[in-house]
Amino acid sequence: MRKKIVAGNWKMNLDYNEGLSLFSEIINMIKDEVTGKQEAIVCSPFIHLHSLAQLAKGYNKISLGAQNAHQAESGAYTGEISAKMIRSVGVAYVILGHSERRQYFGETNELLAKKTDTALKNELKPIFCIGETLQEREANKHFDVIKSQMAEGVFHLDAAQFGKLVIAYEPVWAIGTGVTASSAQAQEIHAFIRKEIAAKYSQQVADDTTILYGGSCNPTNAPELFAQPDIDGGLIGGASLKSRDFVDILKVFN
Ligand code: 13P
């Protein structure tokens, strides 16, 4: 059975001390309140990761993720961070292809395919983000966009490699806007993604893939979203910066 996951994406928020205190609060609340098999992932800025990994040691309900990694193994790329460096501080996941990276840093499906390969080679599990813009949805192109993001970004992998991925559907129009996709809209796309995976690999691979929803997800709308058969959890932005909200979203799977 596929894993239920709630991942927090802190984006470029919280200085070092703020990040450490938020993470300590989250760990304590999870210890007291989370009773199911769901996994929490915190994707903090790079600066925090090593210390957060120390705090999380020996605790299996919470893992860490980076928000990006470079496509090259190492070398003359001033200011960049490699997958190997991230892995070396005890981080298990990396977000790849977030719409903010596609939009502000020009990341293409082709580049993301390389980043995915390098992450996997270094034993980092990608949380691979896909999703259409408002314009694309209004032009009724959302299924085509999702299809090509998957085909060009991750469908070059073999089934064993693909099995290490988490997919996150984040409609760009729902990110940070307070407008959530309705549970029916999200379910429709999640089912489509799972169908594409089944066609490319097998029904078994599709059934085993965790597919997260992201975009203005909060403790109020999470129960209905997560009750959909193909929604296996969430990728949470704003609400992951509040320990109470993040843990309440996680507790939907208790
Ligand atoms: P919000 O939850 O703030 O809409 O952000 C979603 C997101 O981009 C998570 O990666």
217 CB under 6 A from ligand 1? Answer: yes
Which CA distances in Å does 197 have to 192, 214, 250?
A: 9, 19, 26
Q: How far is the CA of 159 from the centre of ligand 1 (A)?
A: 29
What b/e readout covers 177-188, taking b as 16+ CB neighbours within 10 angstroms? eeebbebeebbb
219 CB under 6 A from ligand 1? Answer: no
Q: Which atom in ligand 1 lies closest to the alpha carbon of residue 98?
A: 10
The pTM of this model reads 0.98
36 CB under 6 A from ligand 1? Answer: no
Nearest to 232 by CA among 138, 169, 146, 140: 169
Q: With respect to CATH, is domain 5-253 assigned 2.40.50.1020?
A: no
96 CB under 6 A from ligand 1? Answer: no
Residue range 61-66: mean pLDDT, rounded: 98
Question: How far is 80 from 53, CA to CA, in rounded Å?
Answer: 20
Q: What is the pLDDT of residue 140?
A: 96
Helix or strand (DSSP H, E) at 127: strand 125-130
Q: Which atom in ligand 1 lies closest to the alpha carbon of residue 239?
A: 2
Confidence check: pLDDT of 104 > 90: yes
Q: How far is the CA of 236 from the centre of ligand 1 (A)?
A: 5
Residue range 222-227: mean pLDDT, rounded: 98
Confidence check: pLDDT of 179 > 90: no
In the chain, domain spans: 5-253
240 CB under 6 A from ligand 1? Answer: no
Q: What is the pLDDT of residue 117?
A: 98
| Residue 142 is among the residues annotated as catalytic for this protein | no
Q: What is the pLDDT of residue 250?
A: 98
Q: What is the pLDDT of residue 1?
A: 85
